[in-house]
Amino acid sequence: MARDLDDPGPGLLAFLAERHVATLTTLRADGSPHVVPVGVTYDAATRTARVITSGTSAKARHVRAGQQRVAVCHVDGRRWTTLEGTAVVRDDAASVADAERRYAARYRQPRENPARVVLEISVDRILGNA
């Protein structure tokens, strides 16, 4: 079910804070989906999801090439969420450090990667059952 962004519900927000691997779907130039496992964080106050990745990854290339509509999906048994939105690539040190800190709080300290960037997703739709 789609949720109102102003009130996604406490169960869904709790689910988004638990340690779950997600899938990120970006679109290739031909429109076909590219789906990969990722760690993601969600900030309900700003309606922003963040995925850290290498700047040379396919997902970063797709977003830079203008394929900015993305979806992030978590599934755990019957509980699931999908965050849909528009992504941008951030490569400035402050954005990367902030995303790494958020990632470490949800998952673990990320390994060093000097080519790291952040896919910052402005979430405009939340679906789920959590």
**Predicted TM-score (pTM) of this structure:** 0.92
| DSSP letter for each residue of the chain | -EE-TT---HHHHHHHHS---EEEEEE-TTS-EEEEEE--EEETTTTEEEEEEETTSHHHHHHHTT--EEEEEEEETTEEEEEEEEEEEE-SHHHHHHHHHHHHHHS-PPPP-TTEEEEEEEEEEEEEE-
pLDDT at 1 over 80: no
What does the pLDDT look like over 87-115, one tens digit per residue?
A: 999 999 999 999 999 999 999 999 999 99
Average pLDDT over the chain reads 92
In this prediction, residue 95 carries a pLDDT of 98
| Tokens, residue 88 | 């941008």
Which of 2-6, 73-77, 79-83 is least confident? Answer: 2-6
Q: What pLDDT is stored for residue 27 in this prediction? A: 95
pLDDT for position 10: 83
CA separation for the pair 125, 106 (Å, rounded): 22
Q: Which domains does the chain have, with CATH numbers?
A: 2-129 (2.30.110.10)
For residues 22-43, give the mean pLDDT: 96
Confidence bin at 4 (pLDDT 50/70/90)? low
Q: What is the mean pLDDT of residues 58-77?
A: 96
